[in-house]
Amino acid sequence: MNKVRLGIIGIGNIGTLHSKIIIESKIEDIELSAVADTDEKRRAWAAEYFGAGFPIYKDGNELISKGGLDAVLIAVPHYQHPQLAIDAFSEGLHVLCEKPAGVYTKQVRQMNDAAKKSGKVFAMMFNQRTNSRYIKMRELVTGGTLGEIIRTSWIITNWYRTEAYYTSGGWRGTWDGEGGGVLLNQSPHQLDMFQWICGMPNKVRAFCHNGKWHKIQVEDDVTSYFEYPNGATGTFITSTGETPGTNRFEISLEKGKIVNDGGDNITLYRLETNMRDFCKSSPDPYNCPACTVETPNIENVNPQHEGVIRSFAANILRGEPLVAEGYEGINALVLSNAMHLSSWLDKTIDIPFDEDLFLSELNKRRNL
């Protein structure tokens, strides 16, 4: 195989972006060979954009079953992600799936099992993992020189959306169409980053406000509190209803603090002494460990979606590393499911949680 013959399922906003990246960026390892969409207007756009004779199908199953492909990129509404991936694996195709992995973890586990049985390449479109500042933050946290995490905090409220956004598609802003709001649509990248850099919490308490700022069924304002196995705590705050918004990610550790305020650089506050040890040994009740402030050297590289697509093809052809394994997509969904369940039941949720209970509670809201 010299090139990966790729089909894109769903050519709405994000699927169109992916198709243009492949063609206009001239990704040499991929040949875009087919697209599919249930919307006649999007198929008409595709016919004009790709030209006469280009294969365009009415839905993903038709594209998958026609053959002649090596892989698919799934970019459709959330509920459809796992089943289309399962269908593609059953036909021997590699899969690159848009975020989120799905709406509920029970279905995503089935997708992960199908991927393992198929032996095919499975990747997730977590394009923020190509961002050099997050890569550096992960290196600093996992490298061990700063000690264990004490507190995590991410305020990500620069997702402001108008009513027109939610009325632009009938599936948006509904439990049955979208499966959630800001946690399922805008913030999966940050939830993935949160667990990728800081690890998974074991307890979640969340307050998800549905339709607080918009005429929608689902959450558009969330405040949550995490507890980690080592005793660390964290907060995650997100909204589509405020502007100007904030994007501030802060990680406090025993020997320092890492801060990113949404820019290209991060600030590292490095302590001379472990703060826990200093607390026990210092005779001065008001003293603090000596601290230096650094701006770590960060390679200004952020290929985003293009980087994920390139790595997907390179992994298929040459075994090069993926940006994000598809199996890891469930982690961000575990967090958002736990946050929803906590808010619905008005209590702290342990991770792992009862996935059947979550699905039952979700279906109550889908059937409203």
Residue spans per domain, the chain: 4-128+304-323, 131-301+332-350
The 10s digit of each residue's pLDDT in 124-156 is 999 999 999 999 999 999 999 999 999 999 999
d(CA 103, CA 271): 41
302 touches 132 (CB < 8 A): yes
Query: Which pTM does this prediction carry?
Result: 0.95
**171 — pLDDT class (breaks 50, 70, 90):** confident
Q: In what helix (H) or strand (E) does residue 311 lie, and over which residues does it extend?
A: helix 304-318
The 10s digit of each residue's pLDDT in 45-65 is 999 999 999 999 999 999 999
Is 275 a residue whose pLDDT tops 80? Answer: yes
CATH of domain 4-128+304-323: 3.40.50.720
- When pLDDT is averaged across residues 218-237 and rounded to a whole number, the result is 98
What pLDDT is recorded for position 274?
97
What pLDDT is recorded for position 260?
97
What pLDDT is recorded for position 138?
98
Domain 131-301+332-350 falls in which CATH fold?
A: Dihydrodipicolinate Reductase; domain 2 (3.30.360)
The 10s digit of each residue's pLDDT in 237-269 is 999 999 999 999 999 999 999 999 988 899 999
Q: Kind of pairing, strands 122-124 and 94-97?
A: parallel
What pLDDT is recorded for position 227?
98
Helix axes 304-318, 13-24, angle to 10 degrees: 60
